[in-house]
Amino acid sequence: MGDGRERLIPLFDVELTTEEIEAAADTLRSGWLTMGPRTEQFEQDFAAHLGCRHAVAVSSCTAALHLAYLAAGVRPGDEVIVPAITFVATAAAVRYCGATPVLADVRGEHDLNLDPDDVAARITPRTKAICAVHYAGFAADVVRLGELCDEHGLALIEDAAHAPSATAPESERKLGTYGLAGCFSFFSNKVLSCGEGGLLATDDDEVAALARSRRSHAMTSGTWDRHRGHSAGYDVLDLGFNYRIDEPRAALLAARLPSLEHNIAARRELVHRYRAEISGLDGVSAPFADEEVERSSCYVMPTMVEDPELREPLRARMLERGVQTSVLYPAIHEFTAYAGGESLPHSERVARAELTLPLFPTLAEADQERVLEALREGLSELRGTVPA
Ligand SMILES: *Cc1c(COP(=O)(O)O)cnc(C)c1O
């Protein structure tokens, strides 16, 4: 049994290879530090990987969401329907447009993605878009949500922050390519990471042009164009932002992209093992279905504690045994800045019962066993039973 002095197994860890570090270091030596040839290269590589026409690299997924909502025509007074179980950025970026995020419920403990029926019930004349989040890399129902959007003349935006290289059922088509725009995050703990970064993917030429323009103050040319003598001056065409990514990060991403599939395969193997073990435990379950794991990017390993009262004491007991855990996510409508809406029972239940276990491609089997042991022991102590 752990005594609190065992090496901590973190929720998440990142290990860069020498080649990846060299790619960033070479960029530093090159003397060109922001949006230039490395950014262009990464955009081409990522568009090819996704199978979409345009990939616009930006400073974060939050920035990509803001640009996607603007491209969908979201303006002050409009509404965008987003799930209550997501990172707050999905909703915050709606407010950047002066619009109101309308929170919809998720399907339940077995499926932490948007419930299309609940979404349908929340569509009003002010609704402009629906944002589907692919929780942990498991596909939201992009087909039904897309149909709803078509029926009501809305834009489907995908928050694919968790989901690079993931797919929907019965299709090879990558998530992030179903909507008007797909938004990706390269934040440190994401599946493909560089520290801070994001990307907007789209097949729509106008959406891509808007994102390219607004990410750099809606100027008619960038410093890289001027450096290459393409343009002497510039005009400013609209209200833009500084949402640029820099070259060392773009180089790091381009260097890491080729191992993305390999890393996801390692994540899937760990998730299969977690799920098999958890299916034999009383008092805890794993959302989504086993066959969905092969289509998911497996960003995190979510579990649901049957008795939500036990979750925090269980987390404390696991931490005593050197295992870090987290909660993805608290429900947005229970945050101070988003309070006042109606109750969303499934989201509230998820917010109280969800417990996220450590998951990263280099998690050793022995460490995964320690996580499971801490889960088993903590649960059995709290439930006053013997381990299953
Ligand atoms: C991480 C995350 C974001 C924000 O990504 P940043 O790159 O940190 O801005 C948005 N949505 C979801 C679902 C996320 O997990």
Choice among 25-34, 171-180, 379-388 with the minimum mean pLDDT: 379-388
Q: What angle do CA 384, 385, 388 make, to 5 degrees?
A: 145
Q: What is the pLDDT of residue 225?
A: 78
- Is ligand 1 within 6 A of the CB of residue 163? no
Alpha carbons 230 and 170: distance in angstroms, whole number = 46
Q: Kindly give the distance from the C-alpha atom of residue 233 to the centroid of ligand 1, in angstroms, as a whole number.
A: 35
- Compute the half-sphere exposure of residue 58: CA atoms within 13 Å on the CB side of its CA: 34
Residue 186 alpha carbon, nearest atom of ligand 1: 7
List pLDDT tens digits, range 86-122.
999 999 999 999 999 999 999 999 999 999 999 999 9
pLDDT category, 342, cuts 50, 70, 90? very high
Q: How, if at all, do strands 198-202 and 127-133 pair? A: unpaired
Query: What separation in Å is there between the alpha carbon of 226 and the centre of ligand 1?
Result: 32
Q: Is the minimum distance from the CB of 329 to ligand 1 under 6 angstroms?
A: no
Helices (H) and strands (E) in the chain, counts: 13, 12
CB of 90 within 6 A of ligand 1: the answer is yes
Residue minimizing CA distance to atom 5 of ligand 1 = 61
Q: Is the pLDDT of residue 3 over 80?
A: no
pLDDT band of residue 232 (cuts 50, 70, 90) is: confident
What single-letter DSSP state applies at residue 334?
G
Per the listing, tokens 């065409």 go with 237
Mean pLDDT of the chain: 96
Q: What is the pLDDT of residue 384?
A: 82
Ligand 1, atom 2, residue with closest C-alpha: 161
Distance from residue 150's CA to the centre of ligand 1 (Å) = 26
**Ligand 1 centre from 87 Cα, in Å?**
6
User: What single-letter amino acid sits at 93?
Assistant: A
Average pLDDT over residues 24-29: 97
- When pLDDT is cut at 50, 70 and 90, the band that residue 267 belongs to is very high
Distance 89 CA to ligand 1 centre (A): 6
**What structural domains does the chain harbor?**
18-258 (3.40.640.10), 260-382 (3.90.1150.10)
How far is the C-alpha of 120 from the C-alpha of 117, rounded, in Å? Answer: 5
